Chains A and B, each alone.
Chain A
Amino acid sequence: MATHAHTADPDAPAVYEQFEDIDQQQETYILGMWSFLVTEIMFFGALFLIYSIYRWQYQGDFYIFHKELDYVLGGINTTVLLASSFSVALAVHYAQLKKKRQQLLALGFTLLCAFGFLIIKAIEYGKKFEHSKFPNDTFVWDAAKYGGDPEHARLFFSLYFSMTGLHGLHVLIGILVIGYLMYLIAKDHPVITDYVPTELVGLYWHFVDLVWIFLYPLFYLIPK
Chain B
Amino acid sequence: MNIFKVLPVAPEQASERAFGYDLIFWTITILAVVFTILVFALVLALAVRYRRGSSADRRYPVYHSNGIEAVLTLVPLVLGLGIFAWSSADFVKFRQRPKESMEIFVIGKQWMWHLQHMNGIRENNELHIPVDTPITMTMISQDVIHAMYIPAFRVQYHVVPGRYTEMSFTATKPGRYKMLCAMHCGTQHSEMVGFVYVMSKSDYARWIEGGGNRYEPRAATMVAAGEQVWNRKACGNCHAGMDTVRGPTLNGIFNAQRRLTDGSTAKAAPDYLRESILLPWLRLTKGYETTMPAYKGQLTEEEVLQLIEYIKSNSNTSTSGSPQPYSAPGARTLPTPTHPENATNRANRYGSAGVTQSEEGAMNAR
Contacts and interface: CB of A to CB of B under 8 A. Distances in A.
A149 B279 CA distance: 8
A46 B246 CA distance: 42
B262 interface: yes
B281 A59 contact: no
Nearest to A64: B281
A149 B282 contact: yes
A108 interface: no
Interface of A: 57-61, 147-149, 151
A148 B281 contact: yes
Contacts of B279: 149
Nearest to A149: B279
Contacts of B282: 57-58, 60-61, 149
A57 B282 CA distance: 8
Contacts of B262: 59-60
Contacts of A149: 279, 281-282, 294, 296
Contacts of B261: 60
A58 B294 CA distance: 15
A58 to B, nearest CB: 7
15 contacts: A57-B282, A58-B282, A59-B262, A60-B261, A60-B262, A60-B281, A61-B281, A61-B282, A147-B281, A148-B281, A149-B279, A149-B282, A149-B294, A149-B296, A151-B296
B290 interface: yes
A147 B294 contact: no
A142 to B, nearest CB: 14
Contacts of A147: 281, 290
Contacts, number: 18
A148 B262 CA distance: 15
Interface in B269-302: 279, 281-282, 290, 294, 296
Interface string B241-275: 00000000000000000000110000000000000
A38 B262 CA distance: 37
Nearest to A58: B282
B238 to A, nearest CB: 18
A60 B279 CA distance: 12
Contacts of A60: 261-262, 281-282
A35 B237 CA distance: 62
A60 B281 CA distance: 9
Nearest to A59: B262
A13 to B, nearest CB: 44
A58 B281 CA distance: 10
Contacts of A148: 281
A61 B282 CA distance: 7
Given A60-B262, A149-B279, A151-B296, 15 more contacts: A57-B282, A58-B282, A59-B262, A60-B261, A60-B281, A60-B282, A61-B281, A61-B282, A147-B281, A147-B290, A148-B281, A149-B281, A149-B282, A149-B294, A149-B296
A147 B294 CA distance: 11
Nearest to B289: A147
A149 B262 CA distance: 17
Nearest to B260: A60
Nearest to A224: B262
A10 to B, nearest CB: 52
